[in-house]
A and B are shown apart, each in its own frame.
Chain A
Amino acid sequence: MAEIQIRNVAKRFGSYQALHDINLTIADQEFMVLLGASGCGKSTLLRIIAGLETQTTGEVWIGGRRIDHLPPKDRGIAMVFQNYAVFPHLTVFENIGFGLRMQKLRNDEVTRRVTRTAELMHIEQLLTRYSGELSGGQRQRVAVARALAMEPDVILMDEPLSNLDALLRLEMRAELKGVLAESNTTAIYVTHDQVEAMSLADRISVMHQGRIVQAASPVEVYRDPAERFVAGFIGNPPMNFLPASNHGNGRWAVADQVFAGPDVSAAALEFAIRPEDLRPADDGLEARVRLVEPLGAHLLLTCDVAGTMFRAILDSDMTVRAGDQLKLAAMPDRIRWFDPDTSLSVPTAA
């Protein structure tokens, strides 16, 4: 059992507050992705869990044991680094067996575990090579195998795929997910790539300016962003926003249209809708098309709605040209509302 609990963890670098009061529980064998733009604190949080960085305040627990005062080797973790950190002076075999040698395991046990993990990562034919003789993808496999060979409770990954080319990244992503699911370890995976996060995660923690703004399943993060930041960060293109003013009785005026929304007393809210949740209709938001980008299956339209940039993804059998006037209807159950003051999501349901 390796449930991870992060309790009130904060980190300061001099006068810079890198992490503010982080609280997060990661279930045993869960695949948790820390997602955020660079500088949001996701790597710092991972390094605190690894023991490469010390938190200013707070506690880290793994499997019911407080581990934040222990050296990395006593935390039951293994790590995959962004630049792989595969030792250039050791063979692939000795790289994978590095941690096992440090544990002073018997030779036959080291050989058994190295061979098994190498087979798992399909690099058994590379065991006598040096890292300089490997491709980026192969080095990545060695780095993952080295972590798996430790049979850790928790495996930590810091942007492990970001140095691979697009095709290889896709391949490794699928493989990583399979291998980790079989290994029964809890995984924490840091990335700035939301597609990677969506495809790998059981749960995503979206981080922004040293805070976790939402920790939820990929679908929930996508469908029900807890904050305006998440709505504007997740999705490519992200959600569209329009100002809404209170029309009374839970009705809201948005660009000359009236929508049913939350029954609150605020004077103004923000209306949000995903580009793919818009349909051309006889009645809807008045949009002037400014740019049409055919994406194969879809058309990506960049429009102007009440002076605000608005994106819509429509079926590619439509004929639309730049300059056209369109009416776009929003699917009612996909509309989300945000409080412009707190940036928090305002639920519609009474």
Chain B
Amino acid sequence: MNARLLPYVLILPVTLFLCLFFLYPFVLVAAQAFGGSDGLSLDNFRDVVSYWKFPISLKNTMLLAALVVPVQLALALLMATMVNRMKKGRDLVLYIWTIPLGISDLAAGIIWLAIFEQSGFLNSMMTGLGLAEGPVNFLSYQNPGLVFLAIALAEIWRATAIMLVILVAGIGLIPKEYYEAAEVFGASPWQRFLRVTLPMLRPSLQTALILRVVLAFEVFAVVAALGGTLLPVLMGEIYAYQFDLQNGGAAAAMALIVLGISIVFTLIILRVLRVPKGATI
């Protein structure tokens, strides 16, 4: 085998796979989104954007991401720092913390539903402790704030670990000597975190944030399980267009809008967390 050709031959299977199962469907979706009665048109986009639920679902998705992602980032950083300091039992703690990762998002939603619903654990506990007269319906249209918080909580529980594992690996790669130098030159533990850990963690932070933010825009199953239709989100609307309203064109247009939002945020994260030119981390 020609040594110059070999690398291309080796990546050929995966390239073919991606073309067949990613690029081709993507082209189909794009064609559907931009398709109209007379060739190319933006009708589908106009329709979905002007629908009354669009601004609400966009706002809900954004608010959820805005609440969930920073909390997860802070938690994941805290947990990663703690794990990194541990000498014994480090792996065990890490395994336990990453258990939620192994549970599907719908199952996670159902677990939290079992806690919050009218006959759920939280209600039984509060009644048992005498904190409530009778069962309270937390997840009703009368408490939109509670529904939102329950969904945020379930999301934080479910997906913090994905950031955690990336950050643990990243922190483990920072040589100890940098911390010692920072300590000798007068940096407090908090300053060492701000001036050594965070800047040197930038590549891992980029990966973790992009992954998590993109996933946050795709939030669906947890919302469906806990909120039903009480809290419309973008993905839920795509589902409704595709399966309830049988409007493939509109669903495709929405999907492209979500893709567009994800790309914009990815670019913002890459820009904000870029490594300065010439610096090597």
Residues of A within 8 A of B (CB): 50-52, 71-73, 77-79, 81-83, 85, 87-90, 98-99, 102-103, 129-133, 146, 150
Contact = CB atoms under 8 A, between A and B. Distances in A.
B185 A102 contact: yes
Contact of A130 (B178, B200, B276): B276
Contact of B184 (A79, A82, A130): A79
B177 A83 contact: yes
A102 B186 contact: yes
Interface of B: 175, 177-178, 180-187, 191, 195-196, 199-200, 202, 275-276, 278-281
B184 A77 contact: yes
A71 to B, nearest CB: 8
Contact of B183 (A73, A90, A150): A73
A85 B200 CA distance: 13
| Among all A-B residue pairs, the 9 with the closest Cβ atoms | A132-B280, A99-B185, A102-B186, A73-B186, A85-B181, A89-B199, A85-B177, A130-B279, A130-B278
A249 to B, nearest CB: 59
A72 B196 contact: no
Given A87-B178, A89-B200, A73 B278 contact: no
Contact of A129 (B175, B202, B275, B278): B278
Contacts of A73: 183-187
A87 B275 CA distance: 13
B186 A52 contact: no
Max chain B CB contacts within 10 Å: which of A72, A78, A132? A72
Contacts of B280: 88, 130-132
B186 A99 contact: yes
A130 B200 CA distance: 13
Contacts of A146: 185
B245 to A, nearest CB: 51
Given A85-B177, A89-B276, A72 B200 contact: no
Nearest to A71: B183
A132 B278 contact: yes
Given A85-B177, A89-B199, A52 B278 contact: no
A283 B276 CA distance: 74
Given A81-B180, A130-B279, 5 more contacts: A51-B183, A52-B184, A73-B183, A79-B184, A90-B199
Contacts of B281: 88-89
User: Which of A90, A98, A129, A146 has most chain B Cβ within 10 Å?
Assistant: A98
Contact of A79 (B181, B196, B275): B181
Given A130-B276, A130-B278, A130-B279, A87 B183 contact: no
A81 B181 contact: yes
A81 B177 contact: yes
A79 B183 CA distance: 10
A50 B281 CA distance: 27
Contact of B278 (A51, A79, A133, A150): A133
Contacts of B181: 79, 81, 85, 87, 98
Contact of B279 (A78, A103, A132): A132
A114 to B, nearest CB: 13
A73 B180 CA distance: 11
Nearest to A83: B177
A99 B183 CA distance: 9
Contacts of B202: 89
B195 to A, nearest CB: 8
A94 B195 CA distance: 11
A131 B278 CA distance: 8
Contacts of B199: 89-90
Nearest to A128: B278
A132 B180 CA distance: 20
A8 to B, nearest CB: 24
Contacts of A81: 177, 180-181
A90 B275 CA distance: 10
B201 to A, nearest CB: 10
B185 A98 contact: yes
A146 B184 CA distance: 11
Nearest to B180: A52
A295 to B, nearest CB: 38
A301 to B, nearest CB: 44
A119 B211 CA distance: 46
| Chain B CB within 10 Å, residue with most, of A89, A90, A98, A103 | A89
A51 B183 CA distance: 9
12 contacts: A51-B183, A72-B183, A77-B184, A85-B175, A88-B280, A98-B182, A98-B195, A102-B186, A129-B278, A130-B279, A131-B280, A132-B278
A88 B142 CA distance: 54
B74 to A, nearest CB: 21
A129 B278 CA distance: 7
B196 to A, nearest CB: 7
A72 to B, nearest CB: 5
A152 to B, nearest CB: 10
A71 B264 CA distance: 46
Contacts of A79: 180-181, 184
Q: Point out which of B185, B199, B202, B280 has the most chain A C-beta atoms below 10 A from its C-beta.
A: B185
A78 B184 CA distance: 7
B219 to A, nearest CB: 33
B40 to A, nearest CB: 47
Contact of A83 (B175, B200, B279): B175
Nearest to A77: B184
A51 B186 CA distance: 12
B192 to A, nearest CB: 10
Nearest to A72: B184
Nearest to B191: A102
Contact of B180 (A85, A130, A131): A85
A187 to B, nearest CB: 15
